Amino acid sequence: MADKKFRRIGVLTSGGDAPGMNAAVRSVVRTAAQNGLEIMGVFGGYRGLVDNDMKLLGSRDVSNIISMGGTMLFTDRCDEFKEEAGLQKAMKTCQENKIDGLVCIGGDGTFRGAQDLTRRGIPCIAIPGTIDNDISATDYTIGYDTAMNTVVDLVDKLRDTCESHARCNVVEVMGRNAGYIAINTGIATGAVGIAIEEFPFDADGMIEKMKELKKAKKRNFIVIVSEAFGAEFSENLAKRIDEETGIETKFARLAHVQRGGRPTLRDRELASLMGYKAVELLLEGKSNLIVNIRNEVIGCEDIEYALCYDKLCKGKIKVEDIKGFTDEQIAKMVADAEIRRQRMLSSYEIASKISI
């Protein structure tokens, strides 16, 4: 798949770290090396482009990182890069270091950066790496599976002690504004209630159910809450449950522990396949794409399309966002968004029906 146009490409990880980012970096480096390309590891996300912080990586430099959490390239959310002056510095760094293309691993902020650089002449391919799974153009993001397994492991431990003491534990999980981690870990831990922003949460109904279950001698109760509700919500809910049910209720915010740890098989595999695909796309002369997985097939989507579709799925779309897309594309976005919504709704409803 080699193309003479590319001699040296860069790879960076940006935004919140996610387990599996290292596996993606490894795959990018090795695929590039296999194709006779030099590869520059850029440190600290886009900050490394602004500050010219990078080094050449060979295949052996990424040995043994496949099983490691975090990112060996470090990461940052770089405000300077969002300004034109910062972008120009980044462009200059790419030119000085003879970087012909970039693979950018991260969330939607990372994609916008990749889009900005592509528009200015550095072809970029983005890979979705975030525990939140809040990138609508892909079924799974790198790190999501590991984060969910971490939550399940921790909540299982909480359940043990809840059972011993006949308690409830309200557990707040990450996901930013998205309820994917909450809904799936709620199902997987048998939570009595799951609160996500996407669908109405019936706190009264849940409390009534808990009273009934207490009468039926149920001793442990887990309630999973998405962090999207804000800092006070979970703690207040715990107090309310305690007062209204008479079940002693504790609160736990799992926080950044969800971002660390060894990536699961699923994340390592996904990251490895996506890393390979990203380099393949660059070598085919493509750019401004995000690599994705849909219905178990690794593919790609135009970044503009992916960002627009994402806004649609999140109910944030404005008229100006859809300018430039054909009626057919918009109809497809609407239909796909509805499928995605229905899938989540179905999980939400089933979770409630079986938590009795």
List, by residue number, the catalytic residues.
132
The region of 125-133, 199-207, 208-216, 232-240 touching ligand F6P under the rule CB under 6 A is 125-133
Task: Give the separation between CA 325 and CA 62, rounded to whole angstroms.
Answer: 40
Q: Does 129 bind ligand F6P (CB under 6 A)?
A: no
Q: How far is the CB of 277 from ligand F6P (least distance, A)?
A: 22
70, β-bridge pairs: none
Contact mark string toward ligand F6P, 251..290, x via CB under 6 A? --------x-------------------------------
CB-wise, 15 or 123, nearer to ligand F6P? 15
CB-wise, 30 or 259, nearer to ligand F6P? 259
Please give the full DSSP string across 141-210, using - where no structure is assigned. Answer: -BTHHHHHHHHHHHHHHHHHHHHHHTEEEEEEE--TT--HHHHHHHHHTT-SEEE-TTS---HHHHHHHH
**Choice from 38, 51, 116, 132 touching ligand F6P (CB under 6 A):** 132
Strands (E), the chain: 8-13, 38-42, 54-57, 101-106, 124-128, 167-173, 193-195, 221-226, 248-253, 289-294, 297-302
Task: Give the separation between CA 109 and CA 122, rounded to whole angstroms.
Answer: 17
CB-wise, 182 or 238, nearer to ligand F6P? 182
**Choice from 90, 135, 174, 270 touching ligand F6P (CB under 6 A):** 174
Query: Residue 103: which of 36, 19, 18, 13 has the closest Cα?
Result: 13
Using alpha carbons, list the distances in angstroms from residue 207 to 29, 129, 202, 233, 310.
52, 37, 9, 15, 34
Contact mark string toward ligand F6P, 52..91, x via CB under 6 A? ----------------------------------------
**Choice from 19, 69, 70, 175 touching ligand F6P (CB under 6 A):** 175
CB-wise, 45 or 107, nearer to ligand F6P? 107
Binding site for ligand F6P (CB under 6 A): 16, 107, 130-132, 174-176, 227, 259
